[in-house]
Structure formats: C-alpha cells, structure tokens
Amino acid sequence: MNIVVCVKYVPDAQGDRGFESDRTTDREGVDGLLSELDEYAVEEALKIVEAGEGEVTVLTMGPDDAATAIKKSLQMGAHQGVHVLDEAIAGSDAVATSLVLAEAVKKCGDVDLVLTGLASTDGVMSVVPAMLAERLGLPQVTFASELTVEGGHVRIRRDNESFSETVEADLPAVVSVTDQINEPRYPSFKGIMAAKKKPVQTWSLADLGVDPSQVGLDAAWARVEETQARPPREAGEVVTDEGQGGEALADFLAGRRLA
Ligand SMILES: Cc1cc2nc3c(=O)[nH]c(=O)nc-3n(C[C@H](O)[C@H](O)[C@@H](O)COP(=O)(O)OP(=O)(O)OC[C@H]3O[C@@H](n4cnc5c(N)ncnc54)[C@H](O)[C@@H]3O)c2cc1C
C-alpha cells in the first residue's frame, strides 16, 4: 500500500498572523509549522502501513520553509518526502494548488491512497482534496472519522450531528480525515534521528510539466479583496455573587436574547 499524504506548511495560529500588501497571507512574518490537522492524515497513513506493508510519502507545495512540514512528518515515521518548490507558485489559490499537487501525485508513481487533512489551518477552504480527486480522476471520500482499507476498497465513517454514514470507494482514492480519527504520535528521539537520513526530493514546476502561467497570484480564480483584523475581545463583566448571582446571570442572558 503506497500512500501519499498532502501536508501543508502554515503560519502558526498562536502567532500574530497578518497579510502582505497584496492581501496574500504573510508567511515570512510569523513562524510556520505543519498544519495541525494534517498530523491526523500522517498518523492514519502510518497506522495503515504499519498494519500491513508499503510506504508513506509526504508531499508539500510551498516556500523553502515548507520543508519543516516534511521534516516533522518524517520524524513521525513517514518514509520519504516530496517538496514542490518554485517561485512561480507564490500566491496560488486552491485551484492552482490542486493542479500542482495532482501532478506531483502522478509523478510519485503507483499510489493506492492519497490522504489529506480536513482543512489547512490557514486557508481553511477544505476544497483541495475534492479538487485533487477530480484532477486525478479518482473517487473521493471526505471528512473520515474512521478509516479501513480492505480488499481494494477504502471504507470510512462520516459523522454529523444527527447521524453517521459509512461510505466505501474503490482504491486508489483520495480521502480527507478529521481530527476525530486518531491521536497523532509525537516524534520519538529515534524518529528524529532517523528522519535526518530519509530522502526528500525537490521538484519544480518544470519537473511536473506545469505551465507557470497556470499558478501564482495572477492565475488565482479567487482573490482576497479586503482584510480586517478582528476587534480585540472586550473585557467580560464580573458579577460578585452576594445572593443575587442567579438573577444577574438570568438578566445577562435575557439581555442578549440567549434565554
Ligand atoms: C476566500 C479565499 C480567497 C483566497 N484567495 C487567494 C488568492 O487570491 N490568492 C492566494 O494566493 N491565495 C488565496 N487564498 C488561499 C489559498 O486558496 C489556499 O491557501 C490554498 O493553498 C489551498 O486552500 P487551503 O489552504 O484552504 O486548503 P484546504 O482545502 O483547506 O486543504 C485541505 C488539505 O489539502 C492539503 N493541502 C492544501 N494545501 C496544500 C499545500 N500547499 N501543500 C500540501 N498539501 C496541501 C492539506 O492536507 C490540507 O489539510 C484564498 C483563500 C480563501 C479562503
């Protein structure tokens, strides 16, 4: 079972995130890391391969620093990495991202399963997996909170508020997983040392046969027109309970039409 896991390098959500003058995400001004939701996809791939056989390849598209996302995945146990790195990619939207990732998956050769996170923690569009499946001509099943691979099929459970459904697709397939699916492992000391020797290939757009005019900000189908920082949170109202706490709470909720 050869699995490709798409992993994105994103600005740390704990940092003070901002935008460039062209309103693309500022990726230099704040530390980046492997998108936390992608750790679940890496963990699931490792579990599948450990229960049988095969290899896990992690694939990222992003600037130099995106190698950090590959490194963390290799430390967790992935076997190899692919980094698509090309200046023309900067400013790409989800449509262009899916094009580049699809061509990279094809170049990886015989792939049985493509796993992704539920969404990146920066763009949070949740559309790249579906676009990727369309471009690869593969079935896609999304939002998996449980996953089994058996006899050439992948079976997943999707949960929503009122019911759960079980969905099956033939392999190869593209599957996005939620943060309910597993508990991602921390890299062990052994894993950190082993990662240093694992192969990472760097591919350009030319290596993938992608025309640079199809990617980047100028080719984006959607543009961010305006950004506004969310106003800082106002200090809460403190009520000292001197016997009237319940009433004060009821008034507070009623005043906001919450009760
Ligand atoms: C309204 C809106 C407008 C936007 N407009 C622009 C714009 O004009 N210009 C611009 O540059 N950007 C724009 N973006 C951002 C851009 O579309 C995303 O950053 C793009 O990389 C993919 O979408 P996403 O990150 O939300 O991925 P999602 O669809 O949320 O990602 C799902 C999964 O796909 C995988 N994945 C996604 N991206 C990568 C990657 N690069 N490498 C590896 N795996 C990946 C990960 O596994 C991830 O968990 C916009 C975003 C929004 C929400």
Query: Would the CA dihedral through 15, 225, 123, 88 be positive or negative?
Result: negative
How much is the pLDDT for 117?
A: 98
This prediction's pTM: 0.88
CB-ligand 1 contact for 127 (6 Å cutoff):
yes
Of residues 209 and 16, the one with the higher pLDDT is: 209
Q: Which residue has the higher pLDDT, 229 or 33?
A: 33
- Distances from the Cα of 241 to the Cαs of 75, 164, 247, 248, in angstroms? 51, 43, 10, 9
**Which pair of tokens denotes residue 201?**
């290939």
Render pLDDT for 242-258 as a digit per residue (tens, 0 to 9).
899 899 889 988 988 88
pLDDT cut 70: percent of the chain above it: 100
Asked whether the beta carbons of 146 and 181 are under 8 A apart, the reply is yes
Q: Burial code of 92-120, b = ≥16 C-beta within 10 A, e = fewer?
A: bbbbbbbbbbbbbbebbeebbbbbbbbbb
Atom 5 of ligand 1, nearest CA residue? 223
- Candidates 10, 3, 136; CA nearest to 61 is 10
Tell me how far apart the alpha carbons of residues 218 and 133 are, in angstroms, rounded to a whole number. 24
What spacing in Å lies between the alpha carbon of 124 and ligand 1's midpoint? 7
Residue 220 Cβ inside 6 Å of ligand 1? The answer reads yes
Q: How far, in Å, from the CA of 72 to the mean position of ligand 1?
A: 20
Are 138 and 114 a contacting pair, CB within 8 Å?
A: yes
